[in-house]
Amino acid sequence: MEYNKLNGWTIVLLIISIGGIQAHISEDETTTVERSSKKNVYALIMIDVQYCFINGSLALSNGPAGQDGAEVIPVINELIDKVPFDVFAYSLDWHPANHISFFENLESRKDYVLGSDHEKYQMFDAVTYTGPGSETTQILWPAHCIQDTDEAKLHKDLIRLPAGDNVVYINKGRNPNIDSYSAFLDNDKIEKTPLDNELKARNVTHVFVTGLALDYCVGSTAIDASNFGYKTYVIEDACRGVDDIAIEAKLNQLEQNGVELINSHQVEQIINSLNSQQNVIDTCSSNKRYDITDENQDDININSCQ
């Protein structure tokens, strides 16, 4: 199965992706210091490294960009092995067979097609459904990542850590009537997945996003993460995408939303630098809270304490 007509609805992708929840908190100086002094907690988020996007019905290699989704696996595995992340989160596209995103289900949903002219739509077109839930614009993908099928499994070569205190698995796209590119929210920004609550329960402050596909689920996840208040990074060489034009547009959108674009070789250095800065902040806030004057202040970056 080959992708087509992708460039024509790049703008649809951008519209779907915009609109994450913004949190505006006004806080006094004490609150700021106390929040800043919390320990940084780093999460690696791995998006949809599943067979369906690697060698299945939506294999990226069949898309306009011709990228190989399997290439992210050794990069992600090295991050898992070598970088001191505190939390690991895996997401899976996990659709019921009657999912709204499947072209094969267009006929059964024809009564909800805006304009009622469902016969004109082809695979990879964007269609507006007026129900049965809320009105939503949906790209018509071939059936993919159907729950409990082999194609929906994470690739066997990906390091799959056992679920536990610091390892979370999120199944998204389970609602038959709305798609969910983001691992945080559905496409209409109405219903959350458990991911935000799981990360907040573990006090995560910084997230590093990887996986498939950059111009869809990875990008949407990263923007929502930033909007939910996490310092967010996308590791570009640990991602692959569908369409070159959509990839470039998504990268620009990520930067506009405060997401930092980095490469895998930078990650450990970034974490070490942040931890070093955190040590200074902890010392400063501790001194301020208890009115302690450090007799070795020459060793402290005083500007960081202001």
Contact (Cβ atoms closer than 8 angstroms) between residue 208 and residue 45: yes
Give dist(CA 188, CA 201) in Å, integer.
25
What backbone phi and psi angles, to 5 degrees, belong to 7?
Answer: -60, -30
What Rg value do the Cα atoms of the chain yield, rounded?
A: 21
Contact (Cβ atoms closer than 8 angstroms) between residue 257 and residue 230: no
Beta pairing partners, 102: 141
Closest CA to 141 of 157, 126, 120: 126
Name the active-site residue from 217, 231, 239, 250: 217
Could you confirm whether 172 is annotated as catalytic? yes
Could you confirm whether 217 is annotated as catalytic? yes
Compute CA 76 distance to the chain's CA centroid, rounded to the nearest angstrom.
14
Could you confirm whether 48 is annotated as catalytic? yes
Name the active-site residue from 52, 172, 186, 250: 172
Catalytic residues: 48, 172, 217
